[in-house]
Every structure is written in C-alpha cells, then in structure tokens.
Amino acid sequence: MTGEDLAAEAAARGGVVIRELRETAEFQQAFTLFDDIWHPEPSNVPVPLELMIAFSHAGGYVAGAFVGDSLVGASVGFLAADRTLHSHVTGAMLGRGVGYALKLHQRTWCLRRGLERITWTFDPLVRRNARFNLVKLGARPEAYLESFYGPMADAINEGDDSDRLLAVWHLAEPPGGERGVPPHPRVLGTAGERPVVAPAIGPMVLVATPRDIETLRREDPEAARAWRLAVREVLGGLLAQGARVTGFTDTGDYVVNRG
C-alpha cells in the first residue's frame, strides 16, 4: 500500500476530509480549534492567525481535517533546512484517529515535494504523545531541549518547564515503530507517583514516565516537578552522551540504547 493509500485510508477511518487551508475563515477555524484545545493566554497562542496565513502563502503546510463544514483537526508547519518540514503544532479531537490521519496527510504532502523528514517537539512526560510519536508513527527523539519555549501560559503546560524532545520522522521509512519491546533494566522507575533513579547495567535501559502528568500538575505539583527534573537528568543526560531512543513500551517507558 502506498503512502497516499495509507493517508486516504486513515482519513476515511476517521470520517474526515483533509485538505490545505486557503481562506481566512478556515484559518480562523483552526485558530479557534487550537484555542479550545490549549486554552492559552492571549499572549501565548500556539500559532497566531497571521502566521498561519503567512506560512500557507510562503509554501508551508497548513491543513485541516473536516467533518462536513466543521474543522475537527489542524496542523501547521514551515519549511526548514535539509529538506525538512518542521511541524510546529497539530491539534485534533481525541478518540477519532484524526491526529494520525493528519500526520499521514502531512507525510504525503512532504514526499510529493521531495522532503525527506518531518520534525516536531513534544513534552517527554506525556505518555500518549510519546507512544503516538514513537510507536504509531515511528519517529525518533534526537535531542532533549531544556525549557525550549520558556514559560507557557496555557491550561496544559502552565506551572511546568517547557522541556521538549525533538522528534525526527524519516519519511523514506514506512510509518510505524517497534512493538513488543523485550524487558530491560530501568534507570528511572516509579514509586507510587514519584520517580526513582536507579543504577542499571547493560546497553539497553528503560526510562519511565508518569502515568498522567497533566493530572499530576494539578493535584500534586511537587511530584510533577520531581518528574520533570528526573527525566531531564536521566533521559536528557543519556541523549547528551550519544544514546539513542529506539522505542516506547506499553507500560510507558522510553527504550534507550546507550551501547
């Protein structure tokens, strides 16, 4: 099955039509969708309306997923060096597979233009995003970016540092990552809702993530802060030393090859 076939199948499964946005009213719909997802302060919107219009006009990627006339997902990216699209923001309704359909549409869009990879950033503490990026898509984190965006005033990130992993999706490879990862020792584990750093030997190790960091930020900010610092130290330290993240387990661990 070709990449275009996969993208069409994913869109059909999600019950959406995906296309590039061209009209001001469509960009406004995307702006409103992002606002409904992140509830940002006015000074901290994911992407301003004017910038979406400029990216689209300059040949960047601004697309939406529609059910009838209603926008239920959108993605905004800009062209970067080395035949790369940097996907700045993607937001979609949960539970319909719209985000996956958008990413496959984005992949097809890039391949048609001779691009070789897509990059984006994501919070290493959010399990569902890590699993989606590493297992569903097959992207790989290649850098740990500490406090990348500075303070972020929105309902999801507020009160926490904006550490991010830089995900790189090599488009020559088919979508999908490693599943059924064998057990390895943990260099970062859990005790209740708290992180626990432990020594471990061997070339392959696991780095745990919190069960639900967004709830933890609201209910136990001290524990959420402990997770941020522990993952920054352990996962960030491993990547800085040249280790590679090769997968993500069903129990919420990054699989790291440090050999």
Which residue range(s) make up the domain with 216? 186-257
Same domain, 113 and 220: no
Please report the pLDDT score of residue 153 as a whole number: 66
Contact 234, 165 (CB under 8 A): no
Average pLDDT value over all residues in the chain: 94
Residue with the larger pLDDT of the pair 180 and 12 = 12
For the chain, the maximum distance between any two Cα atoms, rounded to a whole number of angstroms, is: 56
Same domain, 191 and 160: no
Q: Tell whether the model's pLDDT for residue 158 goes beyond 70.
A: no
Q: How far apart are CA 90 and CA 191, in angstroms?
A: 33
Number of H helices, E strands in the chain: 7, 12
Same domain, 77 and 109: yes
Q: Tell whether the model's pLDDT for residue 154 goes beyond 80.
A: no
Q: Tell whether the model's pLDDT for residue 166 goes beyond 80.
A: yes
Tokens of 142: 């290649």
Percent of the chain with pLDDT over 90: 86
pLDDT in tens, 182-222: 889 999 999 989 999 998 889 999 999 999 999 999 999 99
- Residue 62: beta bridge partners? 76
Residue 79, domain member (yes or no): yes
